[in-house]
Structure 1
Amino acid sequence: MLLEKLDYPLLAGFILAHLLLFFTFQDKDIFWYIFSASLLFLTIWTIWQEDVDDQLSFGQYMALGIASGLLIYGLFYTGNLLFKMLGLPFEDNIAKLYNWFAPSKFWQYIALILIAAPGEELFWRGFVQKRLIRKMSPLASVLISSVMYASVNIYSNEFLLVLAALVSGIAWGLLYAWKRSMPLVIVSHLIFDLLLFVFMPLN
């Protein structure tokens, strides 16, 4: 009975994501090569298993995507200010994360926009959360998929990155559960990443 209830594509996809991210975090010198390839592979897995949801018009998902991306970045910006005000020892960790994972070459920025942000949303919201939401409440699917999203970042050995993935995963998960639009969460993620890595870095 239990075997009949298991979602094998979901389980296989989650294990695959862990394997790929394990290798991704092993060497910072080739991080962007492996990360881009990993997200391409997970995107292919998602397209093979699921259709893409889009229940909003172009104008709606662009407006909500930009607004939500700004709000999520604002949440991180405020959190960073609080860390500094409270004297929490995270400043060095943030600098280390930027040193390790922030794009620095032109092709890496292109990969961020065309592969990383869309790929993460397609897999974690468009595949993982979408399959979970068929078996449980929308809120439960948001929380569980966000924990799963955060869990693949443990190989970075950076608590702050795991926490950031959990918080952003909940935000994008709620957005997806609310509007069921992949373009919306992709635009939101893109706006967030552009602010975080290009226009207003936190370090």
Structure 2
Amino acid sequence: MKFVLATQNPKKLKEMSAILGELGVEVVSEADLGVKIEVEETGETFAENSLLKAKAVMEATKLPAIADDSGLCVDALNGGPGVYSARFGGEGLDDTGRYRLLLQMLHGQADRRAHFHTTITCAFPNGDVLQDDGEVEGTIAFAPMGENGFGYDPVFFVPDKRKTFAQLSAEEKAEISHRGKALRAFKETLKNYLAEHQ
């Protein structure tokens, strides 16, 4: 069975292929099918945004489509930046600019609790939808630390590991990350779905 991943990111494709390959599922990217869908993420939740992306790509390709939406939720910012994590601070900012803005906003703030959230959605041409979530709890560091990862990783501190996401190896991060948890849950959900629909 062939699934299309709603992403232009080759790392995400490799990751999803490795996980779903064990179920005998072939995962291709939009690019492999000559499709490039720009979906306006108008949802107010990660679940809504990942569903918008999955449905748009499924409708364009007529194949089951998988999409995810992730973000950083900071308690002191009422759960922000949340679904706006990638657009936090406006168009002109890169990853470094975004986490610097975040640190600035939390200056003098004692409550630095935060979590990363991911929702993975699979939309099928028959109208069925599968959805799984993953979360990891942490705090916002007072200064960036580490060279690995991307986005807010240098300022997301995991107390259990005594390291930021950017200080963890790829393997350590995959084991505890929100994406890792959501992917493992999604694999089980899809496995059960495929068993029922053989």
Give the TM interval when normalised to the shorter protein: under 0.3
Q: If the length of structure 2 is used for normalisation, what is the TM-score? A: 0.28
Richer in helix (by share): 1
Larger RCO, structure (CA 8 Å, separation 6 or more): 1
Q: If the length of structure 1 is used for normalisation, what is the TM-score? A: 0.27
Richer in strand (by share): 2
